[in-house]
Structure 1
Amino acid sequence: MTPTDTPLHRRSARALAAGIRAREFSAEEVMRAHLARIEEHNPAIAAIVTMVPESEALAMAREADRVVARGDEVGLLHGLPTAVKDLLDVEGLPTRHGSRLHADAAPARADAMVVGRMRRAGALVIGKTNTPEAGLGTLTFSAIADTCRNPYDLSRHAGGSSGGAAAAVAAGMLPFADGSDSGGSLRYPAAFCNVVGLRPTPGRVASGRLDNGWTAHGVLGPMARTSDDVAYALAAMAGPDPMAPLSIAEEPAVFASLTPRHPGSVRIGWSRDAGGVPISAEVAAVHAGTREALVAAGYDVVDLDLELTDAEAAWETVEMYNFFASYRGEAAAHPELMRPDLLRNVRQGERITATELADALRTRTEVFRRTERLFTDVDVIIAPATPVVAPPAEVEWVERVGDAVYDRYFRWQMLANRFTVTAHPVVVTPAGFDGHLPVGIQVMGRHRGEAELLPVTAGIEGILGFTGRTPGE
């Protein structure tokens, strides 16, 4: 299939934006192609939970075409449809947080900070993507929306908490999307849905959160079908903001162009299990095969023994503290409307002592420095993205991996949680399949090193060849 024969919903975000600017096709045509995908596939997948009327979406696209026709300067994302994770405000749409607490929310009066950035870059926001209550966990189900299902197997989860974003991108409903991540919420769904997700360095994408603008725990980031498109979206989403105290004062234009780094110029530190996290035999087999493929392609791969066990307790303390900070008012006023896991998190966070929090922050600092020192000898660190393939859509969390038994929803997320505590940027990219189910890898780069990391993952994608696919096509 030649590039001109490729259906619009299968083209990259970068190619769509370039085609709209060059008037090879219109923003209206792009919008209609993606609306058709949504109409066909969203009823079964439940990736998008709120939509603007079709007439409004088409009106936005026609206006984008008029801007191009006038010869006006346009942004990187001009004319591209997207939908925003339903934890962030979009002016004119309700933000329901996947929760009965906000089931009847009024339309938001203003855009969240990153939504405003995407709009200024020309993105056309047409709806909200599915998320579990309060972004809780790495599977997307809630009391107010259907479970988000995997486009590769509708009997399986899409992952979470950015499950709607991943499923929509994988199924060709959107060319790119946003997500957030404190414990794998960009990374697990990217792996399960065979797309690419970036958990950036804290501050790379400015956070407008009201409860704690100083946290380095949860971050916002892009998701797309390739690292090239993730970098392209990041160029629009990233950048400093005076109202975000941790935002990185580096202009994001560097991400707008990307040249893949190829074997011979990349040193890979390889981890079988992120320092001892239980992994299923199926994922382990794909992971080992990925190592063999990269070595055969000429990459310099060395085995690493990561020391991250202490990160687990630190992650839990900080995560529970953040839930308390964000939801203590709701827990006091309407505990009966909260998912039991969320309420338990708030209660646990309320009991955290100053000593426990101080110990967690000290550990986080030590883990960061210990990890950063590894990049003296390697360019990236690779580990599995998830311990299992996408689980059945009926489960609330994975309760067992091998001999390990997990009694709470977040304990099977430790592959992601350990990397969260390092505060380093991590790309999840497709590594292969177990049967028909996707498997991904986490690729970590130096702190604030997204400009070096994404070319490496783009090169790896070129070797492995699993990106850019659409299920069933």
Structure 2
Amino acid sequence: MSDILDRDAIDLAADLEAGNLSAEEVMRATLDRIGEVNGRVNAIVSLREPDALLTEAQQADESKRKGWMHGLPLAVKDLANAKGLRTTMGSPVFADQVAQSDDIMVARMRAAGAIIIGKTNTPEFGLGSNTFNPVHGATCNPYDLTRSAGGSSGGAAAALACRMLPVADGSDMMGSLRNPAAWNNVYGFRPSWGRVPSEPVGDSFLHQLATNGPMARSPRDVAALLDIQSGPDPRQPHGCPVEPTLPGIETDVKGRRIGWLRDWGGAYGFEPGILELSEKALGHFDDIGCIVEEVPAPFAAEAIWESWTTLRSWSVAAGTAALYENDETRSRLKPEAIWEIERGLAFSAMDVHRASVIRSEWFKVAAGLFDRYDALILPSTQVWPFPIEWRYPERVNDTDMDTYHRWMEVVVPPGLLGLPCLNMPAGFNADGLPLGLQMFGRRGADASLLQIGHAWHAATPHFRAKPSVLTAP
């Protein structure tokens, strides 16, 4: 029965609709897999009682279909609210917080028929591309249990790799849908900012860094889930009607131009083997008829970093300052959160303005690049999955990291601009650790990127390699 878990979510959904499978069968297989694997990986947390889940699956079999996700199991990233489940955000401050309602994205997935089985693990407040926290512990990489699964959607990516979920949701401020996808050999998609709304809490105009989005084991499933998550929320100013991405995903991409940014003119350091394997993987674009050209660094990397760290700390502080100002809750925050908050509180309005001017200048330069290229490519990570006991890499090659997140600087250029960006599995090193490439385009080019990703998926073998936690005796 577990072989059904290897299948794409859309294929599972088609069999459920045709009556070739039941939601109860899928749920039993899912719970069996979680029982076999999750104790070693720790990707799914706050799992609901199996009997209740099986009952809900039986009810799905007996009821009218709500949408393509009808009867499929789903665990929600533990930064989002799912009614009746804990939303800990990995923080001891919220360890016992039970959600009273669904967030917008969760409500949309539930309305499409998904059965919410639990949550997926995340770092505290989603800060840091390493999934560990004092509430639920660390999520291990299923390709090497001694290594990190990345973050902050590390639990989601590891659960997908282990076939404990058919699709997953995540969120991305600084690579959180891309870094863990790369390290778990799955697809993670950061949508154009505003396409998938977050919650209408606090300011809805100023902060444009973080977004929710989909993860899956194929671009087709990514598109299907993105179409469920997408669409404006009338309470928020920036969203607009969007065209679905799934219907047009089967498209000839021959002749599309891809710009390879490599190491951004030497600005980004990469551990040995990453650039070499990335360039080898670029050869797959030849197989689908795309044209790849190397592109020199288009903008000063240090200016992008300055803009990013200012706007990020300002955003983090805006959302968590109340916890910092309370002596009791401040004592329970991790050092990285305190560092971000203190930086954010110290900025003046003109500091933030200057950072946004840099962002605006980079946006104009990027727009010119997209007049020549359909997409741009960078590696998704600068380092290989590191030992699970590390908080973060303190050095990349011979360079000391001056912040807890500098080792992920390569994800910043598209994230700062709110551009759509797809992590694509790109192969493995000699130790069997996965690598990913991030492909990004102009705002609104979500469908175009997924078309290229779909063609790439058909031409590459990387996604077929199962993690060692499923293959080792």
TM-score exceeds 0.5: yes
Counterpart in the other structure of 2:19? 23
1:352 deviates by 0.7
Alpha-carbon distance in structure 1 between the residues aligned to 2:5 and 2:400: 41
Alpha-carbon distance in structure 2 between the residues aligned to 1:176 and 1:296: 27
Alpha-carbon distance in structure 2 between the residues aligned to 1:203 and 1:421: 13
Opposite residue 85 of structure 2, the aligned amino acid is: L
Counterpart in the other structure of 1:311? 304
CA deviations on 1:215-237 (whole Å, 9 max, x unpaired) are 22100000001111100111111
Q: How does 1:60-75 map to 2 (within 5 A)?
A: 60-67=56-63, 72-75=64-67
CA deviations on 1:217-269 (whole Å, 9 max, x unpaired) are 10000000111110011111111121232222225xx2233434456332111
Counterpart in the other structure of 1:351? 346
Question: Which of the numbers 422, 428, 438 marks the counterpart of 1:427?
Answer: 422
Q: How does 1:395-406 map to 2 (within 5 A)?
A: 395-406=390-401
Alpha-carbon distance in structure 2 between the residues aligned to 1:208 and 1:202: 14
CA deviations on 1:389-431 (whole Å, 9 max, x unpaired) are 1111011111111222103211111111222112210000101
The alignment partner of 1:131 has SS state of: coil
Alpha-carbon distance in structure 1 between the residues aligned to 2:66 and 2:465: 29
The alignment partner of 1:337 has SS state of: coil
- Alignment of 1:155 with 2:146, yes or no, is yes
Counterpart in the other structure of 2:286? 295
Alpha-carbon distance in structure 2 between the residues aligned to 1:58 and 1:46: 22
Alpha-carbon distance in structure 2 between the residues aligned to 1:230 and 1:296: 22
CA contact (8 A) 2:169 2:212 kept: yes
Counterpart in the other structure of 1:58? 54
CA contact (8 A) 1:274 1:384 kept: no
Counterpart in the other structure of 2:240? 248
Q: How does 1:97-108 map to 2 (within 5 A)?
A: 97-105=89-97, 107-108=98-99
Where does the alignment leave 5 or more consecutive residues of structure 1 unmatched?
none
The alignment partner of 2:282 has SS state of: helix
- Alignment of 1:114 with 2:105, yes or no, is yes
Alpha-carbon distance in structure 1 between the residues aligned to 2:228 and 2:403: 37
Counterpart in the other structure of 1:268? 258
CA contact (8 A) 1:231 1:258 kept: no
Question: Which of the numbers 437, 440, 443 marks the counterpart of 1:441?
Answer: 437
- Scaled by the length of structure 2, the TM-score of the pair is 0.94
CA deviations on 1:149-188 (whole Å, 9 max, x unpaired) are 0011100000000000000001000011110111011110
Opposite residue 443 of structure 1, the aligned amino acid is: M
- Alignment of 1:392 with 2:383, yes or no, is no
Opposite residue 360 of structure 1, the aligned amino acid is: A
1:340 deviates by 1.1
Where does the alignment leave 5 or more consecutive residues of structure 2 unmatched?
none
- Matched residue pairs, number? 462
Structure-2 change in CA distance of 1:87 and 1:157 (3 Å):
same
1:46 deviates by 0.6
1:353 deviates by 1.2
- Alignment of 1:365 with 2:360, yes or no, is yes
1:296 deviates by 5.9
The alignment partner of 2:54 has SS state of: helix
CA contact (8 A) 1:226 1:468 kept: no
Question: Which of the numbers 210, 217, 222 marks the counterpart of 1:230?
Answer: 222
- Scaled by the length of structure 1, the TM-score of the pair is 0.94
1:465 deviates by 1.9
CA contact (8 A) 2:82 2:102 kept: yes
Alpha-carbon distance in structure 2 between the residues aligned to 1:279 and 1:65: 49
CA contact (8 A) 1:207 1:244 kept: no
Structure-2 change in CA distance of 1:433 and 1:258 (3 Å):
farther
Alpha-carbon distance in structure 2 between the residues aligned to 1:296 and 1:175: 28
Alpha-carbon distance in structure 1 between the residues aligned to 2:55 and 2:358: 52
1:45 deviates by 0.5
Higher mean displacement: 242-251 or 315-324: 242-251
- Alignment of 1:172 with 2:163, yes or no, is yes
Query: Identity of aligned pairs, percent?
Result: 37
Moved over 3 A (4+): 258-263, 295-298
Question: Which of the numbers 313, 317, 324 marks the counterpart of 1:324?
Answer: 317
CA contact (8 A) 1:114 1:207 kept: yes
The alignment partner of 2:342 has SS state of: helix
Counterpart in the other structure of 2:45? 49
Opposite residue 197 of structure 2, the aligned amino acid is: A
1:139 deviates by 0.6
CA deviations on 1:73-122 (whole Å, 9 max, x unpaired) are 531211111111111111001110101111122x2110011000001111
Question: Which of the numbers 407, 422, 432 marks the counterpart of 2:402?
Answer: 407
- Alignment of 1:203 with 2:190, yes or no, is no
The alignment partner of 2:242 has SS state of: coil
1:449 deviates by 0.9
The alignment partner of 1:443 has SS state of: strand
1:34 deviates by 1.0
1:376 deviates by 1.1
- Alignment of 1:143 with 2:134, yes or no, is yes
Alpha-carbon distance in structure 2 between the residues aligned to 1:191 and 1:60: 33
Alpha-carbon distance in structure 1 between the residues aligned to 2:374 and 2:138: 38
Opposite residue 329 of structure 1, the aligned amino acid is: A
Alpha-carbon distance in structure 2 between the residues aligned to 1:470 and 1:78: 26
Structure-2 change in CA distance of 1:369 and 1:134 (3 Å):
same
1:288 deviates by 1.6
Opposite residue 442 of structure 1, the aligned amino acid is: Q
Question: Which of the numbers 276, 279, 291 marks the counterpart of 1:285?
Answer: 276
1:209 deviates by 4.7
